[in-house]
Structure 1
């Protein structure tokens, strides 16, 4: 079952949750990464899970990138 999802609302919700989990990461970076991860999976038949999949991918990428930068 697919739902009618507002992409911008989904990204905003993901960024809000990521900001709670990763408070030291600038919001602009969280939004950039979340938007890129969202775009990478948006065309796939997983619309019902876009929010959670985007959040997981963005969180993993931000943590990886912060380790590389250290």
Structure 2
């Protein structure tokens, strides 16, 4: 499940963080895992459609899986 994405521009061998989308979203962490995944997927797709583009723009998603929420399960 994607928590958020960061956007980077590579220019002249240097990497710079750039503004991504202005979308702000939060997950209801009390919801069942399947609902969390679906909501995160929906927001991630929307974020991707609004993301900055270019040959020198990279995206770095940060993600977790179910075991990150409850280690040992």
TM over 0.5: no
**Which has the larger Rg?**
2
Greater fraction strand: 2
More helix by proportion, 1 or 2?
A: 1
If the length of structure 1 is used for normalisation, what is the TM-score?
Answer: 0.34
Q: RCO higher in 1 or 2 (8 Å CA, sep ≥ 6)?
A: 2
